[in-house]
A and B are shown apart, each in its own frame.
Chain A
Amino acid sequence: MGYSMIPEIGHFALILALCVSIIQGVLPLVGAQQGRREWLVLARPATQISFVLLVISFGVLTWCFYSNDFSVLYVAEHSNAQLPTVYRIGAVWGGHEGSLLLWILLLTGWAFAVAQLSKALDEFMVARVLGVLGLVATGLLLFVLTTSNPFERLLPAAQDGRSLNPLLQDPGLVFHPPMLYMGYVGFSVAFAFAIASLLSGKLDAAWARWSRPWTTVAWIFLTLGIALGSYWAYYELGWGGWWFWDPVENASFMPWLIGTALLHSLAVTEKRGGFKNWTVLLAIIAFSMSLLGTFLVRSGVLTSVHAFATDPRRGIFILILLSLVVGSSLFLYALRAPKSTLGGTFSLMSRETLILLGNVFLVVASGSVLLGTLYPLLIDALNLGKISVGPPYFNAVFVPIMVPVLFLLAIGPWANWKSTNLKTLVQRLWVVAVIALVAAILIPQVMGEFTILTALGFLLAFWIIASGVLQIIKQFKAGKPTRSFIGMQLGHVGIAVFVIGVTMVGAYQEEKDVRMAPGDSVSVGGYQIQMVDVRPTQGPNYQATRGTFEVLRHGIAQDALYPEKRNYDSSTMPMTEAAINSGLTRDIYVSLGEPLDGGAWAVRVYYKPFVMWIWGGCLLMALGGLFAVLDKRYRLRLKK
């Protein structure tokens, strides 16, 4: 039997993409510096070609998965013939090589989008932006081709593939990584704009107006990606937690924090021409954090609940790439950043000051997460022993740093640019403060226990919500608000909704690990959970034990829950599938532990009040971002 040559086409397309990326990364940049028009016009076609090549390459890998071509090592290691089609497609990015290929596909996709949507932009700028993106793509393509080729052959071919980790056989796998990577990689555009402006010395409001929507779109994807990952962990890992301060989570959260700071700083640069240095620096840091995240996740340096391929060559390559990108851009920054100060005069009491303060806190928060994530690696590298830094560290540090951010967030929109009167601010905000205080005192009374931390959570959430509502009323009285304004309000209210969810779950959740036999019942949060029975059942590629539980309130049946314990045919690893009854004000969460004597089971029963608000808040934030991007002033530019 002959082997199909299709995988070689994918491999070949990647090699061609590397060549095209080198052209894209070198000629336009040199052309722009030396004023050679015939070189800089190459940027656009090169970008388009490399995107097409990556689509071909990624399409070929997807085909290999779809057609069960186990002569490709990566396919044989991450898929098998019994896997349902949708998970075979998802399995393309289920491992190291494929997820890097996805990374690069998205990178060239972003570059392609910039090339298509920048017709109105000065061609020197376009050439530089695309050139920088070409250089980044070159580095990553070299990485994939030398250390992580997804098309490597396995000869003779395997009869069947190994398996996809059962944890990953979930719709979460299909959506979470692409969303997250879209966000990660999207910051490369803000980065490229920043580097291009440093190269040209043109750091003006027009530059900020161009990079702002790109940054916002990347931020939207990152927000959704992180939220999806968190939700996936909640229902799939079977632990009912929504955030573990796991290094892999931190790796995606750090660029989010910096990206959030960047969004706000860009607003100042666009509207007031200020903070130019700071904005450029944030754009560089945001993308560096994305690369660092890739390094942490992909190099295997971490001890974490996620499992990784461990190949030191890969780690060293990404580390070199990371230092090259960070080092050269910071060097360029030191040389070329405008010597002016923050730019655009403003008084101490002004929107600029508030945004700057918020920015500083966000950056410090991100730094504290970075420290907690890298500290165990550092200690290990210095041979001082092995340690783990757990959630208590992050809660103790991160929460206090975020309190002032939330506090400032409600004030910022009331303050005027340039200068604002403290007295007017107080006049506008005292009502808000009263509402927030009342909520902070009353809600804990209604829910049960009162603690300072719970009260603080509600205080900040209602401080933000009340402030937002008052502003919206004021704006509607004055005329139709802009989409930007609606976006800002949605984003801020989203944060408040998120804070409410976190506070409620943190303070009032009930978690019970109990022994249950059929007929037994346990009560949580005013509900009775009754075990009906536990029976074996059969899935498409797994055997399972399925429990039936009834959820009752005041003796009336509300819903039935069916948690499962699965054993996948291709794996020896058992899998817990929790069953969740979700609602606006509470989730009931039931999962099976292990069988005990006498037909009984160890069962996990959780009551999670307002847990959906955590992800609902994230959705609102993303929606806010969407409104901001759709603002008229950006649309007009696209039409040109």
Chain B
Amino acid sequence: MKPRHKRALMIVGALATLAIAAVLILNALNSNIALYVTPSDVVAGKAPKGQAFRIGGLVKDGSLKRDELVVHFIITDLVKEIPVSYKGILPDLFKEGKGAVVQGKLDTDGQFVASEVLAKHDENYMPPEAKQALEQAQKNGAK
């Protein structure tokens, strides 16, 4: 094989690899992104339908109820509230009155069924998404 052909073949090979990788990446990105939605937007019907998404906000004081392994609580941006249910063990930092992020889907009665509950690893730390949800709700309320 001539060196020229060899180089051409290598370039074609490299491009093909990149193309396959690009297809894989775009495909995976499309189906595996979770959008952050604020509680107010969820109530306004702006949440994606049939797809998992994330809600950030505060866990409402006094809303945590335990029914054996299923926990119920309310996540709020201090304007609107979303009831959440989750089956399993909550992270250490999950607390009423503190920020949390939940990932999951809405069921037919408007209850959010969480598949994952995230609370950050520092007691003085607020998830940026939760903070943003509060700020946005406040801004809209002031209007």
Contact = CB atoms under 8 A, between A and B. Distances in A.
Interface string A354-390: 0011001100100110011001000000000111111
A364 B17 contact: yes
A387 B36 contact: yes
Contacts of A446: none
Contacts of B27: 396
A572 B123 contact: yes
A393 B89 contact: no
B90 A593 contact: yes
Given A361-B17, A367-B21, 4 more contacts: A360-B17, A392-B31, A396-B27, A397-B24
B33 A388 contact: yes
A320 interface: no
* Majority secondary structure of chain B interface residues (helix, strand, loop or mixed): mixed
Contact of B36 (A345, A357, A385, A393): A385
Given A167-B121, A401-B21, A602 B89 contact: yes
Contacts of B6: 347-348
B92 A238 contact: yes
A307 interface: yes
B132 A165 contact: no
14 contacts: A307-B125, A364-B21, A371-B29, A385-B35, A387-B33, A388-B36, A389-B33, A390-B32, A397-B28, A513-B69, A573-B122, A575-B92, A594-B89, A602-B89
A172 B52 CA distance: 34
Given A387-B36, A389-B33, A513-B89, A307 B21 contact: no
Interface in A164-190: 165, 167
B1 interface: yes
Interface of B: 1, 3, 6-7, 9-10, 13-14, 17-18, 21, 24-25, 27-29, 31-36, 54, 66, 68-69, 87-90, 92-93, 103, 118, 120-123, 125, 127-129, 132
Contact of B32 (A303, A389, A591): A389
A356 B3 CA distance: 16
Contacts of B21: 364, 367-368, 397, 401
A387 B92 CA distance: 24
Interface range for A: 35 or more
Contacts of A387: 33-36
B93 A573 contact: yes
A602 B69 contact: yes
A573 B34 contact: no
Contact of A165 (B33, B87, B122, B128): B122
A375 B7 CA distance: 33
B69 A515 contact: yes
A564 B27 CA distance: 43
A307 B88 CA distance: 24
B36 A386 contact: yes
Given A347-B1, A576-B92, A305 B121 contact: yes
A96 B3 CA distance: 52
B72 to A, nearest CB: 14
A514 B69 contact: yes
Interface of A: 165, 167, 238, 303, 305-307, 341, 345, 347-348, 356-357, 360-361, 364, 367-368, 371-372, 375, 385-390, 392-393, 396-397, 400-401, 513-515, 571-576, 591, 593-594, 596, 602, 604
A401 B18 CA distance: 10
Contact of B88 (A389, A393, A513): A513
B49 to A, nearest CB: 16
Contacts of A593: 89-90
A396 B32 contact: yes
B17 A571 contact: no
A15 B13 CA distance: 52
A515 B35 CA distance: 33
Contacts of A604: 89
B20 to A, nearest CB: 8
Nearest to A514: B69
A390 B34 contact: yes
A396 B129 CA distance: 26
Contacts of A389: 29, 32-33
Contacts of A372: 25, 29
B68 A571 contact: no
Contacts of B92: 238, 573-576
B129 A386 contact: yes
A305 B122 CA distance: 9
Contact of A305 (B9, B34, B118, B128): B118
Q: Nearest 3 CB-CB pairs, A to B? A: A593-B89, A307-B122, A386-B36
A201 to B, nearest CB: 24
B68 A303 contact: no
B89 A360 contact: no
A184 to B, nearest CB: 22
Nearest to A573: B123
Contact of A594 (B17, B35, B90, B121): B90
Contacts of B9: 348
A519 B1 CA distance: 75
Given A392-B32, A572-B123, A576-B92, A397 B25 contact: yes
A596 B67 CA distance: 9
Nearest to A306: B121
A571 B123 contact: yes
A392 B121 contact: no
B32 A393 contact: yes
B128 A303 contact: yes
A307 B128 CA distance: 11
Contacts of B35: 385-387
A393 B127 contact: no
Contact of B120 (A307, A390, A514): A307
Contact of B24 (A341, A401, A572): A401
B120 A305 contact: yes
A368 B27 CA distance: 12
A574 B90 CA distance: 12
A360 B14 contact: yes
Contact of B33 (A303, A393, A515, A591): A393
Given A307-B122, A368-B25, A388-B54, A515 B68 contact: yes
A393 B121 contact: no
Contact of A388 (B34, B66, B68): B34
